[in-house]
Structure 1
Amino acid sequence: MEFALHWQQGDAKFEDRFLGRRVNAWRDVFPPALMEKLHGCSPGEAASASYCPGELVDPYTLDKVIHLPVTRFRKRSLGGRNVSPKVGRFYPLGMLSGLPGIYSSTITPFRILEIDGETMTVDLNHPLAGRPLTVEAVITRLQEKQGDTGGSLMHWPEEICYGGPGMQAPLPERPTEFFDEQFFSRSDADDATFYAQPRMIGHIDEQASANLRSMYRRFLKNGMRVLDLMSSMQSHLPDDLDIDVTGLGLNAEEMAANPLLTEYVVHDLNRDPSIPLKGHYDAVACSLSIEYLTDPVSVLSCVREQLAPGGVLLVGMSNRWFPTKAVRGWVDLNEFERVGLVHEMMRRAGFDGKRGVISMRNDWRPQGDRHFLETRGVSDPVYMTWVEKS
């Protein structure tokens, strides 16, 4: 059963998809009223239910908004850099000292709302608390249960709502303070040498790539002119559409092996953020590479200039990258927070049109994949953030 959690903040739409495996309709806990609507449905059929704030996650309460000395924030070293508290950011509760029932290993997130001198205001509510939510469920496969004993009970509202959903959205009144002087530093800044040799490998598994293609498909139509930014041997774009795709990347051999590219240009965006191409594009897609940019706002500003009015920027992400090439600040963030980071980059680059996020987690990894056993058959998560040029 594939669940889709829908929620909204302002004009931004969020859709967090999660594949429920081995769902037991008799034993498991479901969102209220949803299983009753699914009763009697066949594979491919769906049902949805809407929930008021507090029905799927704990209700928002002011007693979970507390004031603490900044000294109660444990500054940990991650990747050789100290992590300091920043307004709008989420952190594991274990980074706060002196709270009853909280240990250094506690990973439940909290958010910093304000820092005023030596005092900080923190929000311990669930990231989705206070929001109306809608859950859609699609039955993907039915199988008769072989026995009535054994197995485990799954609490699907927790599986769907916990682990990051809600952390994509900024505070209502101010942008998140993501950046510091070390945010865009990298352990390996020599792109020319690193990308001199082709790497004919995919960053994500085949199912994750298919999920990303399906997300892109929602925005792409026949006849579109598309720029594949930071392109390589694989674009993750739908291969059954009649679209004109131009690749912009760092290795000609990789792009020459990409069957979707009509043409390609070798260009280093970290040396020069401009786009050395003529004409406007209906869509720009950047797949699994945004974390390598050392000046992404300048690059996205140039992308905005290349987009036709009403065009769309699509940025696909996962949790896999070349470790030495990703900027340090990216690695520090929760996967869902990275989506919020990309939205903030888009805002700074001048994008102010409609926007949103689609994510997919817990899908099946193909059994023939070489990482199948170590991942317990779980496909790589994918996230796609989009914004239109107004």
Structure 2
Amino acid sequence: MALTLRWSSPGVEHSDCQVLQGINLQRDKLPPELEAGLRDQPHGTRVTHRWEHAEPLPRYREDDVLDIPDSAFNRHLRRRIIEPRAGRFYPRGFIAGVRGLLRENRTPFRVGSVGEDTLTVDLNHPMAGRDIELQARALDIRHSRRSGTATHDLVELAAHNGPGMQARWRGQPTDFWSDAPFRREDPAPDTRFYEKPRFVQHLDRAALAGIRRLYGALVPPESTVLDLMSSWVSHLDEVAAPTRVAGLGLNAEELDANPVLTERLIHDLNAEPRLPWDDVSFDAVVCTVSVEYLVHPVEVFSEARRVLRPGGRFVVTFSDRWFPPKAIALWEELHPFERMGLVVEYFLAAGGFGGITTWSLQGLPRPPDDKYADRLTLSDPVFAVWGHREN
């Protein structure tokens, strides 16, 4: 079963899909508005219902928003000093002692605001109090003789460990900018790191298929497309008849092996963020599993907007795999859903983008012939953020 949460925050739309295996409607708990529409229906059936104030999820409680002394945040809980930053999430162990919380508690809480001597912290579920639309889709149906009391709350599973964390706290910008976020383990020129071709797929086949479907849905037919930070594959297979695909990357041999590119350019965006194309040159810009390497992201996003035609989309996709020496330090510090929030802030800081949307896909089974299938049962998660040029 695929459960998709759709919701919104100020200026941003969100869609989070969780694929759940082995669901039993006799045993597991699903809201009756959805369960009734799925029973005795064929696979592929979709049922959607909308609730105000996240009725199937925990209610938002104002008494779970606390002002605590700044000293209650344990900056030394880990190997290095960690400062609390407005809008960011941290394990509750960082404020052990507040409301009896234990140091071992890893459930996330949010720092709402940072004062001189106090912190405002929010212990609510990140989805608490939001209006939500939930879609359930039966992917495969098998008859089972098992029954019994409910063992899983499916809505809780759909909203578990991430959804809501990509949105701002009460509409205020999240502080992703403190603490030298764009430093890297390997500050040497990227041209040196990517000098030798690798010809590797960074994600498993199911995750890449999800990215291809997404690009096919978001990039119009017969488009001109810029593939930023490109390689030997552009994942544009489901884009209908693109008329031009320009690839900007760092390894000539990999770009030459990419069959969909109609033009190729070696260009280091971390050395020179400006794109060597005229204004309004492309119908779409895509960036696949590479945004975590940008040290001048706002400048690059501004450039993506400049080369887009009005209404053209910039689509950024990523996962939880990267080259650690070249990723910015902040990336590894963030929860995967916070990374979507970071990319949203890139769009907002660049300016001129509308229709900003976040999208996530998790829980697909890993292909059995994947090289990590003996260690990982699930496909790599896919996260995406996109927006269109407004004018």
TM-score band w.r.t. shorter chain: over 0.9
Q: Secondary structure of the equivalent of 1:320?
A: coil
CA contact (8 A) 2:27 2:148 kept: no
Q: Which residue of 1 aligns with 2:379?
A: 379
Q: Does 1:93 align with 2:92?
A: yes
Superposed, which structure 2 residues align to 1:1-390 within 5 Å? 1-76=1-76, 81-145=80-144, 147-148=145-146, 153-190=151-188, 191-239=190-238, 241-243=240-242, 244-278=244-278, 280-375=281-376, 377-390=377-390
**Could you say if the C-alpha distance between residues 23 and 32 of structure 1 is closer, same or farther in structure 2, counting changes exceeding 3 Å?**
same
Equivalents in 2 of 1:275, 1:327: separation in Å? 21
Q: Deviations over 1:186-218 (max 9, x none)?
A: 011221221000011011101000111112222
Q: Secondary structure of the equivalent of 1:233?
A: coil
Q: TM-score, normalised by structure 1?
A: 0.95
Q: Unpaired segments of 5 or more residues in structure 1?
A: none
**Structure 1 runs of 4+ with >3 Å offset:** 149-152
Equivalents in 2 of 1:88, 1:125: separation in Å? 13
CA contact (8 A) 2:293 2:328 kept: yes
Structure 1 residue 174, shift from structure 2 partner:
2.1
Aligned residues with identical type, % of pairs: 38
Equivalents in 1 of 2:60, 2:102: separation in Å? 23
Q: Deviations over 1:61-85 (max 9, x none)?
A: 111011111111122576x753210
Q: Structure 1 stretch 28-37 or stretch 129-138: which is displaced more? A: 28-37
Equivalents in 2 of 1:265, 1:152: separation in Å? 56
CA contact (8 A) 2:305 2:353 kept: no
**Could you say if the C-alpha distance between residues 75 and 222 of structure 1 is closer, same or farther in structure 2, counting changes exceeding 3 Å?**
same
Q: Secondary structure of the equivalent of 1:159?
A: helix
Size of the alignment, in residue pairs? 387
CA contact (8 A) 2:59 2:128 kept: yes
- Structural RMSD (CA): 1.8
Structure 1 residue 115, shift from structure 2 partner:
1.5
Q: Deviations over 1:1-39 (max 9, x none)?
A: 111111011332111001010111110111342111111
Structure 1 residue 102, shift from structure 2 partner:
2.0
CA contact (8 A) 1:215 1:358 kept: no
**Could you say if the C-alpha distance between residues 374 and 24 of structure 1 is closer, same or farther in structure 2, counting changes exceeding 3 Å?**
same
Q: TM-score, normalised by structure 2?
A: 0.95
User: Which residue identity is paired with 2:326?
Assistant: K
Q: Unpaired segments of 5 or more residues in structure 2?
A: none
CA contact (8 A) 1:239 1:260 kept: no
Structure 1 residue 57, shift from structure 2 partner:
1.6
